[in-house]
Amino acid sequence: MIEVRELTKRYGDKTVVDRLDFTARPGAVTGFLGPNGAGKSTTMRMIIGLSSPTSGSVTVNGRRYVEHAAPLRQIGALLEARSVHPGRSAFDHLMAQAHTHGIPRRRVHEVIELAGLRDVAKKRVGAFSLGMGQRLGIAAALLGDPQVVMLDEPVNGLDPEGVLWVRNLLRTLADQGRTVLLSSHLMSETAQIADHLVVIGRGKLLADTTVDELVARAGGNGVRVLTSEPARLRDLLAGPGVAVTGSPGSEALHVTGADARRIGSTAADNGITLYELAPQNVSLEQAFMDLTRDAVEYQSAADTLRSIA
Ligand SMILES: Nc1ncnc2c1ncn2[C@@H]1O[C@H](COP(=O)(O)OP(=O)(O)OP(=O)(O)O)[C@@H](O)[C@H]1O
């Protein structure tokens, strides 16, 4: 478990992480999302003690990272800036890490297999593709067989097969009861992996939620209906969890909590004519952009032009 409490980091007069509060729980993949510069990497660095908070706290399995006798066995991390000696082989790199942490050689072979690196284990790391480098970073994160795994942009540079591999691996780790935290600025990609989402912008918590809740907050996956008898259809659809909105005198209704099939059947059973029955899918990417719009560090020229027009 990772518990972030009122975590704050300031560089000079700039507050980069601002009283951040969230929990990444065991048995779930928590997606840590935010636009560029939101403070994700800074938060992750504080989680593993590479940077110290200005105020607030963060614990891994109940203790601060530095208080663990064998931190590598508690949390395995892949952070963006890797320091791998380019002349070393993948095997030697992992062996050196294992050695300093009292991890047996057998485990090095296991993570090499797990990361699909067997064929390239003896190759110089300097000659690795970006994707192979990511796999090596993930192998290193898993070396201590940790209960908590934290990955900063793990699918960066991976081909579709690699992305699928990461997705399956993280699901397996969570299903084993481990805590998985992964950062990304890609909403749709994260939504396919994560059970839970923590969204930040300018260092502040914007949402601590599930994918479904986020979509609902952004307007939900409702259905637009055009009918000759809006008032009667509205009454017929009324029930727990169903919301129907529309303007007086208008033939249009917006329905949430009932899908197009149910609305169509209800209309047909009661002889009501429909002119339109259109599911409205809110794109996750749109929901994310709506949520983080005010927190984006550098707006695109188009946005800026729109806002001054
Ligand atoms: N050592 C530092 N000194 C001053 N400012 C810093 C330092 N490290 C990070 N920052 C600033 O903190 C802010 C947050 O950066 P951070 O790398 O944590 O964001 P991020 O969400 O990981 O972004 P990205 O998705 O681009 O990696 C940025 O504005 C960055 O310029």
- For residue 35 and ligand 1, the question of a CB distance below 6 A is answered with no
The two three-digit tokens of residue 118, written as one number: 């067997």
- For residue 39 and ligand 1, the question of a CB distance below 6 A is answered with yes
Domains 2-210 and 222-279 equal at CATH topology level? no
- For residue 156 and ligand 1, the question of a CB distance below 6 A is answered with no
Average pLDDT score over residue span 269-291: 86
Query: For helices 90-100 and 105-114, what crossing angle results, to 10°?
Result: 130
Judged by DSSP in three states, 249 sits in coil
CA-closest candidate to residue 31, choices 179, 142, 168: 179
- For residue 37 and ligand 1, the question of a CB distance below 6 A is answered with yes
| The CATH fold of domain 222-279 | Alpha-Beta Plaits (3.30.70)
Distance separating alpha carbons of residues 65 and 75, to the nearest angstrom: 8
- For residue 20 and ligand 1, the question of a CB distance below 6 A is answered with no
CA-closest candidate to residue 148, choices 25, 23, 241, 283: 25
Ligand 1 atom nearest residue 297's Cα = 29
The protein residue whose alpha carbon is closest to atom 17 in ligand 1 is 41
Q: How far, in Å, from the CA of 17 to the mean position of ligand 1?
A: 9
102 CB neighbour count, 10 Å cutoff: 10
Distance separating alpha carbons of residues 26 and 175, to the nearest angstrom: 9
Is the distance from CB of 211 to CB of 181 less than 8 angstroms? no
Q: What is the CATH number of domain 2-210?
A: 3.40.50.300
Predicted confidence band at 188 (pLDDT cuts at 50, 70, 90)? confident
Distance separating alpha carbons of residues 60 and 48, to the nearest angstrom: 8
Name the pTM for this structure.
0.81
The protein residue whose alpha carbon is closest to atom 16 in ligand 1 is 39
Is the distance from CB of 182 to CB of 170 less than 8 angstroms? yes
Q: What is the DSSP string of 222-254?
A: -EEEEES-HHHHHHHH-STT-EEE--TT-SEEE
Q: How far, in Å, from the CA of 16 to the mean position of ligand 1?
A: 7
212 CB neighbour count, 10 Å cutoff: 11
Domain coordinates in residue numbering, the chain: 2-210, 222-279
Average pLDDT score over residue span 30-38: 93
Average pLDDT score over residue span 156-182: 92
- Report ipTM for this prediction: 0.96
Distance separating alpha carbons of residues 223 and 283, to the nearest angstrom: 14
Predicted confidence band at 19 (pLDDT cuts at 50, 70, 90)? very high
